[in-house]
Structure 1
Amino acid sequence: MLQRLNIRDFVLVDRLELDFQGGFGALTGETGAGKSILVDALAFVLGERADSGLLRAGAEKTEVGAEFDIRALAELKSWLAENDFAADDDLLLRRILDAGGRSRAYINGSAATLQQLRQAAEWLVDIHGQHAHQSLLRGEAQRQLLDAHAGHADLARSVGEAWRTWRDARDSLEAAAEGGEALAREREQLEWQVRELETLAFSADEWESLNQEHKRLAHAASLLEGAQFSLGLLAEGEGACEAQVRAVASRLDGLAEYDPALSEVAQLVQSAEAELAEAVSALRRYADRVDLDPARLAEVERRLEAVMGCARKFRALPEELPELLSRWQQRLAELGEAGDLAALQARVDAARQQYDKDAAKLSKARAKAAKALGDEVSQGMQELALGGGRFEIALVPVAGGNAHGLESIEFRIGGLAGSEARSLAKVASGGELSRISLAIQVVTSRQASVPTLIFDEVDVGIGGGVAEVVGRLLHRLGRERQVLCVTHLPQVAARADWQWQVAKSKEGAAIKSRVTPLDAAGRVEEIARMLGGVEITATTRQHAKELLGQG
């Protein structure tokens, strides 16, 4: 959920830091005080389009940061990790816009694109109202909402996988049918290339061992001479140091009886004597093993030349030849399958049958869920001053189907602007759309994944008993999700778990907006103001207490 919002030099706000709570919160204030500025600031940090008009007068840049608790959003954490962002329990989004219109975005401190900001926002917040950030109008979101509510998102994914399998099989068949001659030429070339590398029978491990053996054989004379020279100086020549070190060790050992101070030196020399003896023994074994073998050297050189010849021919590094052979063998197997048009056609038919089976099952499930959800939302609309309105979910056939099934999903409304049901985007006004979305969110709240909902002016054009219903529905929704509502109706605000007041003030030549969290007494005063009247009286305060359940 949204935990904190930091705003700097945004429209009428100079500096503002807000700590959010869970449940249902109301944002109230006089008309024109800037209540919707907070919603605009949040939309800005979530990647909404922006221009320099958002900067407070005289400011060089505006900056908004939003912190979210994402412990329950496993998919978002996976997305963050896949995109090389820190994936902790807290998520910080930050966006800066300068006077020149240049925008910068950050996710958990790392630079991000606006597209990445918007992608992350899809898991975090849904803003409903007379603003652009409304997923309810997108066909993709409508489909996902229906599938999630009905609990068949896994079936929808299976349909997508079946579609891709069928498409790939169809593409392979078309390529084989249209490019038979080209495929035959490719197969012929691959066959002789594979034969040559298989005849070479070369491995990456062999390349390393060949080079080591060649280096040893090519320098065998020098190696033998160096070993014998070292043995002469150390042990076998006149005045060899091994005998001299042994003599020094013996002499010091005897002298140590007279002066213990020489004992440590004697021990060091004795240790050197032992290590020298070990080195001499190893050199003798090595000298016995070194072999001058011109025939083997010539054989190794022929093998190296054969490997390097193939590498030059195929324009690869010698150690890359085994991987090259593997790729060619795999491609040759694919071409063998591609040449069998009957087998390819059978694969296409089987994939299409599987897609049709899964898609038909999904269509049946969607039709049942669409009817039930449509009835529930229609019932909710009647309570929200949308009497006579009818919510329908149309399954519009898609010729041949696609990755999402045999139909597209379209939310429709009937009874508001004529009896015929038409697309939600074309029928509902801003206020109606807010209330319709409220009805949908209440019905689908348990299945939906977005943890924070914001309703901006959902109560436009209503009052009285309907306002009480809106407040009750928002309060109910706040039990499952974090809900923030910008409202001018006391009946709605009184149902909130917490409330902020937005006020506009003049400081010198500047006009600024301020947000004040209200305590119990402050809420009574604010609700009383919202109830109307130039002067707040004891009667209006009593009425406010009654609405708040305090009196």
Structure 2
Amino acid sequence: MLRALDIRDILIIDHLELAFQPGLNVLTGETGAGKSILLDSLGFVLGWRGRAELVRQGADQGEVMAEFDLPEGHPARDVLQEAGLPAGDELILRRVNSRDGRKTAWVNDRRCSGEVLRRLSETLVELHGQHDDRGLLDPKGHRALLDAYGRLEPLKTKARSTWRGVAEARKALETATAALDEVRAEEEFLRHAVSELDALDPQPGEEEALDTRRRLMQQAERIREDIARAQAALGQEGAEGSAGDALRWLEGVADRAEGQLDDAIAALGRAMVELDDAAQGVARCLEGLSFNPLDLEEAEERLFAIRAMARKHGVAADDLGEFATELRGKLAALDQGDADLKALEAALSAAQAAYDAAAGALSAARSEAAGELDRAVSEELAPLRMERAVFSTQVEPSDPGPEGRDTVTFTVATNPGAPSGPLNKIASGGELSRFLLALKVCLTGTDSGLTMIFDEIDRGVGGATADAVGRRLAQLAEDGQVLVVTHSPQVAARGAHHWRVEKKVTGEQTLSTVTPLPTSERVDEIARMLSGDRITEEARAAAQALMAG
């Protein structure tokens, strides 16, 4: 609820402090007195887009501050939390417009953007008027209004959930189909490549082993002769034989050398063992260098085949086995692909069926809620002297979406047999005002803590009809807060709180003022609205009768 509005240096307002109350608040005054400036100022602090130049002539900046009550559970608290702004039982908005056009906003003394203000405003204030193309006159919002009236959020949640399920199932099928098409496009290559790799069967480390063996065989003839000479030098005809002779000779005289040959004999024994090891190693090497010339050719052929395969596929030779496994996996996916696609198609069909059921249930509930809303609005139109008018909520099929597959449009026919059409196309100014009021009375149960503002919604009506409008506005304000800018004395008489807006010229300066009216002054203001500038006793009596009625 709007508690206070403080306006400084905005257009023709130098400083106004207004304290609003629960119930029906009415603002009256002559045309041009500045009533629209109050709404402009409130719209400015709420971040609405309006006039570009708001700063009063001669002032450096204009400023508007609005104070709202914010009870527990108020939807504005969610907006504040999401924006990282402090929230309490009181919400204070302040916005400044400098002379150079810069605008700065604060929420509870914390800087914020105009976008945050606009999001807050959607939870705080709702404006209705003949020229308001948002809210009730905007067909784009009619479905949401009907859903709120019918309390259809659980069904909408189900529709959104199943719609996401359809989207996810369709995406999974499309992804799998694209992947399968990609594999099918290279199926011939895959099968040929896997066949080649399976036939070659390269092993990790094989390339290095083949290269080493090939180089060894290439050098074998060059080194074999020297190795054979070394074998001869180490054998019985060489070092091993000489060392053996020397050992026998020394052992034959060792007992007569008084121990002086013991160390030499031991050393020769060790040398004999080492010579034997060396001879065996050389013999093994010679044996390894003995190969069939075809072995070299076979090693080279396989080595070159492995390297050619690696170059062909752009991978390292040691990675050919892993690459072959990857290709086999693609082939397996290809072979399994049709079965997988059938499973994904079945999942999509199931998801679509779930959405169809949810959307169907939502459509049926909307049709039922539409009938209830039509009956409720018709009951409201009778007291507003429009008992012959027909209000109809049209629920028609549309493209499927996350909130179902319906379009909702509020239509009216002002007289029986007359063609129906959109609210703002068919109804005249006075009729439109009453349609909007009747509709708002029926929908008010769906609002949560909104301050409703009606800007001259009673224009074009008078007499008993204006009185009916005033009564319905008062009914709408019983459990909330309604602000009405009006020229109708019948509506003003129903107000619980009354302000008069006046424009005064002092010297060369024109200023707008707003004065709260006690009961006695309310009588004179309503009398003025009835009779004009000259207030008669008869007008006062009529005003008192209106207020008493």
If the length of structure 2 is used for normalisation, what is the TM-score? 0.68
AA of the residue aligned to 1:59: A
Name 1:82's counterpart in structure 2: 82
Task: Give the letter for the 1:4 counterpart.
Answer: A
Task: Tell me if the contact between 1:52 and 1:98 (Cα under 8 Å) persists in the aligned partners.
Answer: no
Matched, 1:109 2:109: yes
CA-to-aligned-CA distance 1:204-223 (integer Å, 9 cap, x gap): xxxxxxxxxxxxxxxxxxxx
Whole-Å separation in 2 of the counterparts to 1:451 and 1:101: 30
The match for 2:531 is 532
**Residue in 1 aligned with 2:361?**
361
Q: Which position in structure 2 is the counterpart of 1:44?
A: 44
When residues 24 and 157 of structure 1 are mapped into structure 2, their CA distance, relative to the original with a 3 A threshold, is same
Report the equivalent of 2:474. Answer: 475
On the 8 A contact 1:5/1:67 being kept in 2, the answer is yes
Shift of 1:508: 1.9
In the TM superposition, 1:58-457 aligns within 5 A as 58-132=58-132, 134-180=134-180, 340-386=340-386, 388-399=388-399, 401-415=400-414, 419-428=418-427, 431-457=430-456
Query: Aligned pair in 2 of structure 1 residues 366, 6: CA closer, same or farther (>3 Å)?
Result: same
For 1:136 and 1:454, the matched residues in 2 are separated by: 13
The aligned residue for residue 27 of structure 1 is: 27
Is 2:545 aligned against 1:546? yes
Taking a change above 3 Å as real, the CA distance of residues 512 and 130 of structure 1, as seen in their structure-2 partners, is farther
Which stretch has the larger CA shift, 127-136 or 167-176? 127-136
CA contact (8 A) 1:416 1:427 kept: no
Specify the code of the residue in structure 1 equivalent to 2:471: R
1:23 to partner: Cα distance: 0.4
1:503-514 residue pairs with structure 2 within 5 A? 503-514=502-513
**Secondary structure of the structure 2 residue equivalent to 1:58:** coil
Partner deviation per Cα, 1:198-238 (whole Å, 9 max, x = no partner): xxxxxxxxxxxxxxxxxxxxxxxxxxxxxxxxxxxxxxxxx
Deviation at 1:132, TM superposition (A): 4.2
SS of residue matched to 2:53 = helix
Question: What is the alpha-carbon distance in structure 1 between the residues aligned to residue 124 and residue 418 of structure 2?
Answer: 36
The 2-side partners of 1:429 and 1:55 are apart by 36
Task: Give the CA deviation at 1:131.
Answer: 4.7
SS at match of 2:408: strand
Measured on the aligned residues, the alpha-carbon RMSD in Å equals 2.7
Match of 1:465 in 2: 464
The 8 Å contact of residues 55 and 99 in structure 1, kept in 2 or not, is answered as yes
Alpha-carbon deviation of 1:544? 1.6
Q: Relative to 1, partners in 2 of residues 1:433 and 1:84: Cα closer, same or farther, differing over 3 Å?
A: farther
Distance 1:69 1:42, change over 3 A: same
Unaligned runs of 5+ in 1: 189-335
> Which residue of the partner structure matches residue 253 of structure 1?
none
1:4-59 deviation per Cα after TM superposition (whole angstroms, max 9, x unaligned): 11112222111111111000111111222112221221122222213433222223
The 1-side partners of 2:20 and 2:99 are apart by 29
Deviation at 1:122, TM superposition (A): 1.0
SS at match of 1:485: strand
Work out whether residues 430 and 461 of structure 2, in 8 Å CA contact, stay in contact via their aligned partners in 1. Answer: no
Q: What are the Cα deviations for residues 421-476 of structure 1, in whole angstroms up to 9, with x where unaligned?
A: 22224334555433222111111222322521111111111111001101110111
Give the partner amino acid of 1:177.
T
Q: Is the 8 A contact 2:396 2:408 kept in 1?
A: yes
Between stretches 465-474 and 167-176, larger displacement belongs to 167-176
Once the two structures are superposed, what CA deviation does each residue of 1:102-132 show, in whole Å capped at 9, x if it has no partner? 3233322223222221111111111101454
Alpha-carbon distance in structure 1 between the residues aligned to 2:432 and 2:531: 27
**1:393-423 CA distances to partner (integer Å, 9 max, x unpaired)?**
1112113x11111201111122379822222
Please list every run of 5 or more consecutive structure 2 residues that lacks an aligned counterpart in the other structure: 191-335
Contact 1:504–1:512 (Cα < 8 Å) also in 2: yes
For residue 137 of structure 1, what is the amino acid of its counterpart?
A: L
CA separation in 1, counterparts of 2:375 and 2:546? 31
CA shift, 1:535, in A, is 2.3
- Per-residue CA distance 1:130-170 (angstroms, 9 max, x = gap): 45473113344322221111122221122112112211221
Secondary structure of 1:8's aligned partner: strand
Contact kept? 1:52, 1:100, Cα under 8 Å: no
Other structure's SS at 2:48 match: coil
Separation in 2, partners of 1:426, 1:544 = 35
Q: Percent identity?
A: 42
- Call closer, same or farther: CA 1:166–1:144 in 2, change over 3 Å: same
C-alpha distance after superposition, 1:68-103 (max 9, x if no partner): 112144432122112211121222222222333332
Change (3 A) 1:508 1:391: same
CA contact (8 A) 1:52 1:99 kept: no
Structure with greater Cα Rg:
2
Question: Following the alignment from structure 2 to structure 1, what is the Cα–Cα distance between the partners of residues 66 and 23?
Answer: 18
Return closer, same or farther for 1:51/1:499 CA change in 2, 3 Å cut-off: closer
SS in structure 2 at match of 1:62 = strand
CA contact (8 A) 2:74 2:448 kept: no
Q: 1:16 to 1:131 in 2, by over 3 A?
A: farther
Q: How many Å separate the matches in 1 of 2:183 and 2:144?
A: 42
* Partner residue, 1:484: 483
Q: Per the alignment, in what secondary structure is the counterpart of residue 54 of structure 1?
A: coil
Between 74-83 and 462-471, the greater mean CA deviation after superposition: 74-83
**1:24, 1:482 within 8 Å by CA — same for their partners in 2?**
yes
Task: Classify the secondary structure of the residue corresponding to 1:36.
Answer: helix
C-alpha deviation, 1:387, in angstroms: 5.6
Rounded Cα–Cα distance in structure 2 between residues aligned with 1:426 and 1:529? 34
What is the aligned partner in structure 2 of residue 519 from structure 1? 518
| Cα deviation, residue 368, structure 1 | 1.1
Distance in 1, matches of 2:100 and 2:428, equals: 35
Q: Which residue of 1 aligns with 2:207?
A: none
CA distance in 1, matches of 2:543, 2:71: 38
For the residues of structure 2 that align with 1:32 and 1:118, how far apart are their CA atoms? 27
